[in-house]
Amino acid sequence: MGYGRGVMDADVLPGPNSPLPPPFSALTAEVHEARMRRALRQAALAAEAGEVPVGAVIYHRDRLVAQAFNQTRTLKDPTAHAEMLAITQAASALGDWRLLDCALYVTLEPCAMCSGAIVLARIPLVVWGAPDPQRGGAVSCFQILDSPQLNHRPALLGGVLQDECSTLLLDFFKSRRTANHDHPTTEVPPP
Ligand SMILES: [Zn+2]
């Protein structure tokens, strides 16, 4: 499992960095929340598919250019995190590997892999919902999105619709534990 662990005991994360640089400083809290709700709808689709519910969307200025949800199980691909799929979609839509003037919204703090991809794509704004204190690659566990050693440091905004994003993950893991308890033989025993 790529992401999800650690969010269970998540309760604190960096609040919004303030203020955001222009042009993002013009975005209201309502805009950030509306965009995060769209990411949450993607996360719900992941849950329906039995995937760890994480969703991501990317806006180029005011235009939605990507939306995706975690599909690591479905695609049998450990790199198929919501952010990775969304970054590929956005690059294709824009015809450029640099996602300039783009904002990525994701329901869970990006992991180390996705944070690395965000740096490579030069995404200027990253917004997330739930923190991931144990695995978060943006600022929590590793500070990949806030490192002076890297050539790109996006503006960051954490905790947008945090409760809803966390609840979706917590409910998913809770229901999965219950399912495992009801059907213990469905889990492959350790070697
Ligand atoms: Zn990731």
Helix/strand/coil (H, E, C) string of 70-132? Answer: CCCCCCCCCCCCHHHHHHHHHHHHHCCCCCCCEEEEEEECCCHHHHHHHHHHCCCEEEEEECC
pTM of the predicted structure, to 2 decimals: 0.87
Those residues whose beta carbon sits under 5 angstroms from the ion ligand 1 are 81, 111, 113-114
As given in the structure block, the two tokens for residue 132 are 């991931």
Distance between Cα 97 and ligand 1 center (Å):
18
pLDDT of residue 184: 57
Judged against a pLDDT cut of 80, whether residue 27 lies above it is answered with yes
Compute the mean pLDDT over every residue in the chain, rounded to the nearest whole number. 89
- Token couple for 166: 């966390």
**Count of CB atoms within 10 A of residue 149's CB?**
6
CA of 137 to the centre of ligand 1 (A): 8
109 is catalytic: no
- Ligand 1 centroid vs 139 CA: distance in angstroms? 13
Q: Which residue has the higher pLDDT, 13 or 136?
A: 136
Distance between Cα 181 and ligand 1 center (Å): 28
Kindly indicate the confidence band of residue 13, based on its pLDDT and cuts at 50, 70 and 90. Answer: very low
130: exposed, middle or buried (Cβ count in 10 Å: 0-12, 13-18, 19+): buried
> How is residue 71 written in tokens?
């599909």
Distance of CA 77 from the midpoint of ligand 1 (Å):
12
User: Ligand 1 centre from 119 Cα, in Å?
Assistant: 13
pLDDT at 114: 98
Closest Cα partner for 144 from 120, 108, 165, 162?
120
pLDDT at residue 14 is higher than 80: no
> What is the spatial distance between Cα 121 and Cα 175, in angstroms, rounded to a whole number?
35
Residue listed under structure tokens 């500070």: 143
Active-site annotation holder among 48, 83, 109, 164: 83
